Chain A
């Protein structure tokens, strides 16, 4: 069972991505916790930087991406786990 914090953070990330993809023209792409945010075109690299800043504000911690697997890095589920590893 997933920790409650991970579920809540994933929910916040999904809301942030939905809001931003409405403005970048990709609002019609299906978004789940496992969607690759870069390959799907939902976010570009600058928007990804903005998402990381948003997540750091939400968790109050800097997110260390050293040695992070690119596959985990590109999904909402993966990002939630990465962020919470930095909190713990």
Chain B
């Protein structure tokens, strides 16, 4: 049986060799990633930290490099070439494992994760409910999580400026295909989705006023 090819995963895999170029890192998205990364608060009592959709491992190696001895890290990504870059980048860090996986399916034990974060990957999941169930499965009951993702109906000026660039480089067909693939949740939809599986009293969703992102 032939495996289904996800065009977004394929695209990211193709981009892996240039993903860390200065041009990308200094772009509006690169700066947004830096800002999100800087806002993460990692507690010293975490034992196992998970980064979902971690790309080339840039964020993961920085966070792991500043952690206390004994803290373990797992980075998962479905794009093969991204994993290859991440393995190369983190090979000196014995406390980092890079694995194949996605929001919908993670090769992790139940209730094993103390802290999970993901920066601008959650909107690419293909199955909303399966993704949230899988998040709930792998998190410890008292675990913490920060998700940064593209939401709907915010950051319109940002979209106005970036869409022509995406269109120029992707072309109309891929531009619309990627739009159809992306899940852009409204704030209320995101809350309902997560509250169906995770404790509502522990959920908080913030909309970024200038960029089309939400933080959960």
Q: Contact string, A42-60, partner B, CB cutoff 8 A, digits 1/0? A: 0011101100100000000
| Residues of B156-176 whose CB lies within 8 A of A | 156-157, 159-160, 163-164, 166-168, 171-173, 175-176
Q: Bound state CA distance, A47 and B117, in angstroms? A: 30
Of B157, B164, B171, B172, the contact of A39 (CB 8 Å cutoff)? B164
Q: Is A44's CB under 8 angstroms from B172's CB?
A: no
Q: Bound state CA distance, A49 and B152, in angstroms? A: 14
Of B156, B160, B164, B173, the contact of A65 (CB 8 Å cutoff)? B173
- Which residues from A are CB-within-8-Å of B168? 70
The dominant DSSP class at the A interface is loop
Q: Contact string, B127-162, partner A, CB cutoff 8 A, digits 1/0? A: 000000000000000000000000010001101100
Q: Is A41's CB under 8 angstroms from B176's CB?
A: no
Q: Is A68's CB under 8 angstroms from B171's CB?
A: yes
The answer to whether the Cβ of A61 comes within 8 Å of any Cβ in the partner chain is no
The answer to whether the Cβ of B184 comes within 8 Å of any Cβ in the partner chain is yes
Instruction: Knowing A48-B176, A52-B176, A68-B173, say if A41 contacts B167 (CB, 8 Å).
Output: no
Residues of B in contact with A, size category = 10 to 19
The answer to whether the Cβ of A38 comes within 8 Å of any Cβ in the partner chain is yes
| Nearest-Cβ distance from residue A54 to partner chain B, whole angstroms | 13
| Nearest-Cβ distance from residue B214 to partner chain A, whole angstroms | 15
The answer to whether the Cβ of A74 comes within 8 Å of any Cβ in the partner chain is yes
User: Closest residue to B168 on the A side, CB-wise?
Assistant: A70
Q: Is A49's CB under 8 angstroms from B179's CB?
A: yes
Q: Other CB < 8 Å A-B pairs besides A25-B156, A66-B173, 11 of them?
A: A38-B160, A41-B157, A41-B160, A44-B156, A45-B166, A45-B175, A48-B179, A65-B172, A68-B173, A70-B175, A73-B167
B residues sitting closer than 8 Å to A (CB atoms) are: 152, 156-157, 159-160, 163-164, 166-168, 171-173, 175-176, 179-180, 184
A residues sitting closer than 8 Å to B (CB atoms) are: 24-25, 36, 38-41, 44-46, 48-49, 52, 65-66, 68, 70, 73-74
